[in-house]
């Protein structure tokens, strides 16, 4: 009996987060959609590895690490910094001639072609990082007031901001895959910035907006996952149909 076809969804975390940010998703998704969070160096299960601050170098490392897992249909998802890293990862995979993802999902992050990363290019002080966390409305005051927890989080957050600041668009050919973008209606990342993602696909594009600020993926988790699942199902069905035609 043949193994059922599954879609592997590689999920890239937002600034300061570990792969645990997507642990709930594993329980919420159907069996055919396998959530595969990627742990970045310097956090979670990779705490003993040095933090990275060069986004292309990190994308290249991740591309090499997941290359053996591209034996089945897959897609990339990233929220905030994770969306930009997913974009770099898609390019790193293409440069290596590896199988392309069925789709790229970018959440709460401006399109790469016109984004300004200058404010992230210089290391921020602890206080600046804490104020930024307040602005993003995703971290409670009790967490911000926990000195021990902040002592662990701030170096990761500082490196992640530098990671974002290292991004350079340069000359990029559009990616040959659909790009689906998600945004929060009350987020500081505006709709026109999300629409900039259109220039980076030679395939389909969509934009879905949800109630909430930057961390709408927590506040609106179920509606977001329903939307993501619908797109993933469409792409997997299309892939199956293509495979069936090729096998005739």
Q: Where are the domains of the chain?
A: 7-119+167-247
Q: Distances from the Cα of 217 to the Cαs of 102, 179, 228, in angstroms?
A: 22, 18, 11
Predicted pLDDT at 59: 98
Distance (Å, whole) CA 81 – CA 101: 19
Task: Produce one character per residue of 53-84: b if its CB has 16 or more CB atoms within 10 Å, e if not.
Answer: bebeebbbbbbeebeeebeebbbbbbbbbbbb
Q: How many whole angstroms from its chain centre is CA 170?
A: 20
Query: Active-site residue among 15, 18, 80, 166?
Result: 80
CATH topology of domain 7-119+167-247: Rossmann fold (3.40.50)
- Strand stretches in the chain, DSSP E: 7-12, 33-37, 74-79, 104-107, 179-184, 205-210
Nearest to 71 by CA among 7, 4, 137: 7
Nearest to 178 by CA among 246, 231, 241: 231
In the chain, the N- to C-terminal Cα span, in Å, equals 20
Predicted pLDDT at 1: 38
Residue 99 has pLDDT above 50, yes or no: yes
Mean pLDDT of all residues in the chain? 92
- Percent of the chain topping pLDDT 90: 74
Per the annotation, the verdict on 2 as an active-site residue is no
Q: Which residues contact 220 (CB under 8 A, 6 or more apart)?
A: 184, 210, 211, 212
Distance (Å, whole) CA 204 – CA 22: 26
CB 239 within 8 A of CB 102: yes
Q: What is the enclosing helix (H) or strand (E) of 59? A: helix 55-66
Predicted pLDDT at 87: 98
Question: How do residues 213-239 score in pLDDT, each as one tens digit?
Answer: 999 999 999 999 999 999 999 999 999
Average pLDDT rounded to a whole number, residues 203-217: 96
Tokens of 65: 């690490």
Q: Which of the residue ranges 141-150, 153-162, 226-235 would you say has the lowest mean pLDDT?
A: 141-150
Residue 20 has pLDDT above 50, yes or no: yes
Identify the top-confidence range among 26-35, 123-132, 224-233. 224-233
């Amino acid at each position: 009996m043949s193994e059922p076809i599954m879609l592997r969804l590689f999920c890239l975390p937002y600034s300061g987060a570990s792969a645990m940010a997507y642990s709930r998703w594993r329980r919420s998704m159907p069996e055919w959609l396998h959530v595969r969070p990627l742990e970045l160096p310097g956090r979670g299960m990779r705490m003993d590895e040095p933090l990275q601050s060069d986004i292309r170098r990190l994308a290249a490392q991740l591309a090499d690490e997941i290359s053996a897992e591209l034996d089945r249909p897959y897609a990339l998802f990233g929220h905030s910094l994770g969306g930009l890293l997913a974009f770099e990862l898609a390019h790193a995979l293409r440069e290596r001639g590896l199988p392309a993802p069925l789709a790229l999902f970018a959440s709460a992050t401006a399109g790469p072609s016109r984004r300004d990363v200058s404010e992230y290019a210089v290391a921020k002080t602890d206080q600046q990082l804490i104020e930024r966390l307040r602005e993003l409305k995703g971290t409670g005051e009790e967490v911000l007031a926990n000195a021990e927890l902040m002592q662990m989080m701030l170096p990761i957050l500082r490196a992640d901001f530098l990671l974002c600041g290292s991004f350079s668009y340069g000359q990029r050919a559009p990616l040959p895959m659909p790009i689906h973008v998600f945004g929060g209606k009350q987020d500081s990342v505006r709709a026109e910035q999300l629409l900039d993602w259109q220039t980076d696909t030679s395939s389909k594009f969509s934009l879905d907006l949800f109630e909430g600020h930057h961390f709408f993926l927590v506040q609106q988790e179920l509606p977001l996952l329903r939307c993501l699942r619908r797109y993933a199902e469409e792409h997997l069905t299309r892939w199956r149909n293509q495979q069936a035609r090729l096998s005739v």
